[in-house]
Structure 1
Amino acid sequence: MRTVVALMLREMSTTYGRSPGGYLWAILEPVGGIAMMTLVFSLAFRSPALGVNFPIFYATGIVPFMLFNNMTTKLAQSLTFSKALLAYPNVTFADALIARFLVNLITQLMVGYVIFIGIMTLFETRTRPDLVTIVECYLMVSVLAVGVGTMNCYLFNAYPAWQRTWSILTRPLFIISCIFFLYETIPQPYRDYLWWNPMVHVVGLMRRGFYPSYDAPYVSFVYVFALGGGLFLAGLLMLRKHHKDILYN
């Protein structure tokens, strides 16, 4: 536990303590994206695809997406970030993964809280947040992010070309995760193809948590948890077997 806490403090001071503004930038980035999309789409449409308020509609898509994106990136770089410390026998690769996961989860929870409370304070959103559903969404995206991040932690180090390949493959993810639109508005057969994107389920569940009238029947807990859990176990087994080769090569 002391090792994990020490790594967490190092992560916090290195990532946020050395830059002007620190944690403020973690909030300003999604706020800027929400503000820009609100401005652009409010000029073209009278109302968002769901509800009456543009900022809350886009926030329910951007906040979970940024949690997934940031956490997977940070976890994938865990061995590289703590490589010097992993030479000590008391520090394991699991400690590095846990520390980065906890720091970034706490940070993104804080960011989401500030954004949602801020929007609901400033605007008449006509939403009724369901805390249980919102917690389920955060749990879902956390499991997915841990799975993808742990697997990529192995793949990025074992196969350096995969890091660039992953970056190219995931560039369209922001567009095809139903942040700008609703899943139901996609025509067939593309809707069926889009179902396999796990972030579609995460965003749909978050919107179910804010909009009582939005049921999102396409959301599958089994699919997302199985995918995230399977990738996590596979990545953990590969790291346990090969992390020393990765560190010392």
Structure 2
Amino acid sequence: MIADVPRRAPGSALEAQVRVISALFMRELLTRFGTSRLGYVWLIGEPMMLAVMISTVHWLSGSHLPNDLPTFLFYGMGYVPFMMFRSITSRGASAVTSNMSLLFHRSISLLDLMIARNLMEMMVCAAIVLLFILGGMLTVGEVPSDPALLILGLLLSALLGHGLAMVLGSVQVFLEFTERLVHPFTYILMPISATFYMVEYMPPEAREMLLWNPLVHVHEMNRWAMFGDRVVPHFDLGYVMIWVIGLNLVGMAGLRGARPRLSMSD
């Protein structure tokens, strides 16, 4: 399978890079899910089950979301974008160390490995988001208030995860123990990222602290794009863009610095 990765021809760098990433993308897809449909079913079933459980607990408690927001869709649309970020960050961070053998091919760069793996995670999670939206439309007639803004929010969530994955992946080349810290770090982020709540209902002091986290802005923007005037959003698109650009630039620089270290260890 490795031998099928196309080599880059002089004069067609962009076209060859697309072909390389496409081949790596298919390799990642087969590695992640294989030929069994069970893997795809579980990928969709995990966020569905979590949304159902949280919605059920919320319903049994007798409480209601403000402005009659649909409980299942509210929690599902909060968790799936975070799951996208978490999957891209945690799995992307290990793309370098788990694909060392591929680096013997001159046509493959560390950035190619990152893009292929993270693109696969983004597309899969985006498909799950689409299923939640279709479910909301069919069951409760809930249509996204601003589809374009919702797509932008999902893209920003993926780009934040991609940038952080590159940073963590390059750090792991120099400090191997950091690989064990990635998963706990992403889980710690969940309760402070407004995944299951709106910051409007937090105390002002807590709200100010939470808004330092760019993921909070993304989730608030997604809720505004989904539910419109029924929620009071708190987000700054410019602030999120600064984080996206900064993480991706630092991540690409880190990968460039990590590549010679890998060559010396070959």
TM-score, normalised via structure 1 length: 0.91
SS of corresponding position for 1:189: helix
Which of the numbers 8, 23, 32 marks the counterpart of 1:15? 32
Task: Give distance in 1, aligned partners of 2:35 and 2:258.
Answer: 33
Task: Give distance in 2, aligned partners of 1:204 and 1:214.
Answer: 12
Aligned to 1:48: 65
Give, in angstroms, the shift of residue 146 of structure 1.
1.4
Q: Is the 8 A contact 1:49 1:182 kept in 2?
A: no
Give, in angstroms, the shift of residue 59 of structure 1.
1.5
Does 2:252 match 1:236?
A: yes
Measured on the aligned residues, the alpha-carbon RMSD in Å equals 1.9
* Deviation digits for residues 48-102 of structure 1 (CA, Å, limit 9, x no counterpart): 2453311011022111101101111121111123211111111111211121122
Q: Is the 8 A contact 2:192 2:210 kept in 1?
A: yes
The verdict on how the C-alpha distance between 1:83 and 1:19 changes in structure 2, with shifts beyond 3 A counting, is: farther
SS of corresponding position for 1:84: helix
Give, in angstroms, the shift of residue 236 of structure 1.
0.8
Which of the numbers 93, 99, 110 marks the counterpart of 1:93? 110
The verdict on how the C-alpha distance between 1:50 and 1:56 changes in structure 2, with shifts beyond 3 A counting, is: farther
Q: Is the 8 A contact 1:205 1:216 kept in 2?
A: no
Identity %: 27
Amino acid at match of 1:244: P
* Deviation digits for residues 133-169 of structure 1 (CA, Å, limit 9, x no counterpart): 1112112212211111111111123212223334334
Task: Give distance in 2, aligned partners of 1:196 and 1:162.
Answer: 24
Aligned to 2:132: 115
The verdict on how the C-alpha distance between 1:191 and 1:98 changes in structure 2, with shifts beyond 3 A counting, is: same
What stretches of structure 1 of length at least 5 have no aligned partner?
none
Amino acid at match of 1:228: V
The verdict on how the C-alpha distance between 1:40 and 1:233 changes in structure 2, with shifts beyond 3 A counting, is: same
- How many equivalent pairs are there? 248
SS of corresponding position for 2:119: helix
Task: Give distance in 1, aligned partners of 2:87 and 2:66.
Answer: 26
Aligned to 2:100: 83
The verdict on how the C-alpha distance between 1:101 and 1:171 changes in structure 2, with shifts beyond 3 A counting, is: closer
Task: Give distance in 2, aligned partners of 1:14 and 1:238.
Answer: 26
Q: Is the 8 A contact 1:134 1:205 kept in 2?
A: yes
Task: Give distance in 2, aligned partners of 1:190 and 1:8.
Answer: 41
What stretches of structure 2 of length at least 5 have no aligned partner?
1-17
Amino acid at match of 2:100: K
Amino acid at match of 1:172: I
Give, in angstroms, the shift of residue 247 of structure 1.
5.6
Q: Is the 8 A contact 1:16 1:23 kept in 2?
A: yes
Task: Give distance in 1, aligned partners of 2:89 and 2:23.
Answer: 21
Task: Give distance in 2, aligned partners of 1:227 and 1:191.
Answer: 19
TM-score, normalised via structure 2 length: 0.86
Task: Give distance in 1, aligned partners of 2:137 and 2:172.
Answer: 40
Does 2:85 match 1:68?
A: yes
* Deviation digits for residues 192-244 of structure 1 (CA, Å, limit 9, x no counterpart): 11111111111111110111214645211111111121111111112112223
Aligned to 1:27: 44
